[in-house]
Amino acid sequence: MHSVKISVATKADVAAIAQLFDAYRQFYQYPPDLALASSYIAERIEKAETVILLAQDANGEALGFCQLYPTFCSLEAKPIYALYDLYVAPAARGAGIGNLLLLAAEDSARAHGMCRLDLTTAKTNLPAQAAYEALGWVRDEAYFSYSKMIEPQGA
């Protein structure tokens, strides 16, 4: 990979990101749904609810993306980013694209006054864990993570 450009995604990038986002969801065992991926990404960008960092090669081909959601840490009483999605296309893996996206996420957090970046990953995703730790991320050994699915009203 000779030249990689990382930029903040705009509406013009929705189609390229949607392809990657659909593949990302499939990685986590969700069924393919490009229409859902496209509408979800478009709505997040339109409503300015996310910062999506897009990695592209010199020809403009999308190689990977990182999605950051601004939120807050009540204990620190400061804003943080939840790094919720990080994905590199299989053909681009091993070229350091993930590391470039993680470093760009740090730069974005710093530039926007965030005090921290948080992320979760699958326990089985050992390559990602190694990459995070190599860049100074620290695994939380003190807290468990919980979630609960909410059924729509009237279901």
In tens, the pLDDT along 12-61 reads: 999 999 999 999 999 999 999 999 999 999 999 999 999 999 999 999 99
Q: What is the 3-state secondary structure (H, E, C) of 105-141?
A: HHHHHHHCCCCCEECCCCCCCHHHHHHHHHCCCCCCC
Q: What's the pLDDT score for residue 67?
A: 98
The CATH number for 4-134, chosen from 3.40.630.30, 3.40.228.10, 3.90.1150.10, 3.40.50.620, is 3.40.630.30
CA atoms of 58 and 56, how far apart (whole Å)? 7
Coil, strand, or helix at residue 152? coil
Q: Mean of the pLDDT values across residues 137-149? A: 91
* Element at 16 (helix H, strand E): helix 14-27
CA atoms of 47 and 35, how far apart (whole Å)? 18
Dihedral sign from CA coordinates of 61, 65, 69, 75 = negative
In the block, tokens 């980013």 appear at 81
Q: What's the pLDDT score for residue 122?
A: 87
Query: What percentage of the chain carries pLDDT values higher than 90?
Result: 88
23-27, 81-85, 150-154 — which is least confidently predicted? 150-154
In the block, tokens 């590199």 appear at 88
Higher pLDDT, 155 or 139: 139
Residue 1 in this model has a pLDDT that exceeds 60:
no
CA–centroid distance for 105 within its chain: 9
Here the tokens at position 143 are 């807290």
Report the chain's mean pLDDT, rounded to a whole number.
95
Q: Return phi, psi of residue 54, to 5°.
A: -115, 130
Here the tokens at position 79 are 């804003």
Q: What's the pLDDT score for residue 154?
A: 81
8-state DSSP, 103:
H
Buried b / exposed e over 89-99, threshold 16 CB at 10 Å, is beebeebebbe
pTM: 0.92
Decide if 64 contacts 98 (C-beta within 8 A).
Answer: yes
Domain regions of the chain by residue span: 4-134
Q: What's the pLDDT score for residue 2?
A: 66
Coil, strand, or helix at residue 30? coil
